[in-house]
A and B are shown apart, each in its own frame.
Chain A
Amino acid sequence: MNGPLGNQRPDFAVIAEWIPQRARVLDLGCGDGTLLKYLQQTRGVTGYGIEIDDGNVLECVKNGVHVIQSNLERGLADFDNGSFDFVVLSQTLQAMRNTEHIVREMLRVGRSGIVTFPNFGYWKNRLNVLRGHMPVSENLPFEWFDTPNIHLCTVADFEKFCGERGIRIVARTLLTNGQPVTSLPNLLGELAVYQFGG
């Protein structure tokens, strides 16, 4: 998939589908601002990105995205309850130290949350582990010793996590090679995209 969202982030296309015109969006770990820029241009959304990395903050400025340089582990204290329609956390959940806290914070400041994460239950990952090695792939590009991903989970794990906490899953899309997966999501899906509410 090419075009304004780039070809390396297939989850962005799914997220963009879910976000209506003029929504208020908070993008946590917004990177270079690609998603917000796209949403601003195509949906007229308003909102902010949060990003910790200097280089990404600079790219956000170049992309015309309102970025707040901050560490997500500090929580979202700068943001009021219910001040956004959507709070997005794409490909960052698995790198958060305090997973439950950030999910709760997302639902505090937003009406809906959207997360995307690499599905550790994807068959190629399982195969890697069966062969005796931690998986390294396009979606999990790090070696075990230098990975920021400290909380990897499977689709089944995430849904159990939500279920136990009364978090309502509103929509789910699994992607493999950028294409939606229709059956056996926890086995055949490489990248998980979830929308949830409180």
Chain B
Amino acid sequence: MAADKIQDPSRSVGVVTPQVARFAAPLALRCGASLRDYELVYETYGTLNADRSNAVLVCHALNASHHVAGHYADDPANTGWWDNMIGPGKPLDTRRFFVIGVNNIGGCHGSTGPLSINPDTGRVWGGEFPVVTVEDWVDAQARLADHLGIQQFAAVMGGSLGAMQALAWSARYPQRLRHSIVIACAPNLSAQNIAFNEVARQAIITDPDFNDGNYRALNTAPKRGLRVARMVGHITYLSDDEMANKFGRQLKNGKPGYTFDTEFQIESYLRHQGNKFADYFDANTYLRITKALDYFDPALEHGGDLAKALQSVVAGMLVVSFTTDWRFSPERSREIVHALIKNRAPVTYAEIDAPHGHDAFLLDDARYHRLVAAYFERVHGEIAR
């Protein structure tokens, strides 16, 4: 996902350093398995105040990580994935808030996942790593909060799959957050969403280099599959209009070559995105994260009644959707809002008229950012009181 990377050093959190928290108590997972011990990699920006009330947890979506803002000393080009949102003077202002980004369990950016060593076998987990869920992630994040001495977050925030975590937080640990900021979310995936994920997974699983997920031991990786998976995903993040604006029917060489090389600009773009992704992302992680998306359905345990599933919510809720997001459409956000209204929960809902599709949540849209900034102003007013 291509965030706008306008660099203004005075508005950046600057050089950041990832940290590692190690947890010895087992983490029971939804699938029935349990992680005996595990590590979470995280970054923090800003300063935790004396009464520990200004912490904001930022949950990541499909391909992102704990590296939410700033850059690394040894890799200045590696800017955090939500750097336009988080920093001094930005909507989530690090002069006021202590912001935490964490790589989820099952990830491939340092937290315990398929690339880690399975302590029971002494070998890389690979395809043996259990299937994880949004709720598992939230449970692990709650332990990180314990570790950091944070009893209650000022807010938990996320977009897309990250928003599902923010929503799960509000129902699962209602007392542990004052606000939940749920951007470009859905209360569960539609059949169409699951279908796209399944195409992506099949691309990976049927890659001859996949080897039941144990490709690392053979020094290979199902890169072809991962590439296709990313291409499919990318199509769903953009709106039809945005794709037409960016690429249209443009040909790289100006005229058709009647070959199967990349000719249309959109082909070239998708291949580029696919290649880039396949070089840094782990296929086993991709499989698990798409499964976490598919399984997320808080209403399921409540007979399909989302209001019941969200009955425990006491946090202030900000729900934001984007008009051209067809992957997680405004109607899906409205389902969440409807359930919260039914429960008489304090909810604010904004529908941003943005042309960029699902990706809009990562982009620098003035109306969107002003709204989030105003909301955080309100949160700050509460904790400063």
Contacts and interface: CB of A to CB of B under 8 A. Distances in A.
Interface in B323-363: 334, 337-338, 341-342, 344, 346-353
Contacts of A24: 344
A48 B367 contact: no
Given A46-B344, A62-B377, A68 B349 contact: yes
Given A78-B337, A78-B341, A80-B342, A61 B347 contact: no
Interface stretch (B29-37, B260-268, B368-376): B368-376
Contacts, number: 48
Contacts of A80: 342
Given A54-B353, A68-B348, A69-B351, A61 B341 contact: no
B378 interface: yes
Given A48-B341, A78-B337, A78-B341, A66 B374 contact: no
Main secondary structure of the interface of A (DSSP, over half): mixed
A135 B341 CA distance: 40
A61 B348 contact: yes
Chain A CB within 10 A, most for which of B338, B341, B375:
B341
A86 to B, nearest CB: 15
A57 B353 CA distance: 13
Interface in B188-217: none
B367 A66 contact: no
B337 to A, nearest CB: 6
Interface in A19-63: 24, 46, 48, 54, 57-58, 60-62
B374 A62 contact: yes
Nearest to A26: B341
Nearest to A79: B341
A64 interface: yes
Contacts of A67: 348-350
Contacts of B378: 61-62, 64
A62 B342 CA distance: 24
B341 A54 contact: no
Interface string A63-78: 0101111100000001
Nearest to A68: B349
B163 to A, nearest CB: 17
B371 A58 contact: yes
A68 B375 contact: no
Nearest to B339: A78
A149 B306 CA distance: 38
Contacts of A48: 341, 347
A153 B157 CA distance: 47
Contact of A66 (B342, B346, B351): B346
A54 to B, nearest CB: 5
Contacts of B346: 66
B363 to A, nearest CB: 16
A70 B350 CA distance: 8
A46 B349 CA distance: 16
B337 A68 contact: yes
Interface of B: 334, 337-338, 341-342, 344, 346-353, 367, 370-371, 374-375, 377-378
18 contacts: A46-B344, A58-B367, A58-B371, A58-B374, A61-B371, A61-B374, A62-B378, A67-B348, A67-B349, A68-B347, A68-B349, A69-B349, A69-B350, A70-B349, A78-B338, A78-B341, A79-B341, A83-B344
Closest 9 CB pairs of A and B: A61-B374, A68-B349, A69-B351, A78-B338, A69-B350, A62-B374, A66-B348, A54-B367, A57-B350
Given A61-B348, A68-B348, A69-B351, 20 more contacts: A24-B344, A46-B344, A48-B341, A48-B347, A54-B352, A57-B350, A58-B371, A58-B374, A60-B348, A61-B371, A61-B375, A61-B378, A62-B377, A62-B378, A66-B347, A67-B348, A67-B349, A69-B349, A69-B350, A78-B341
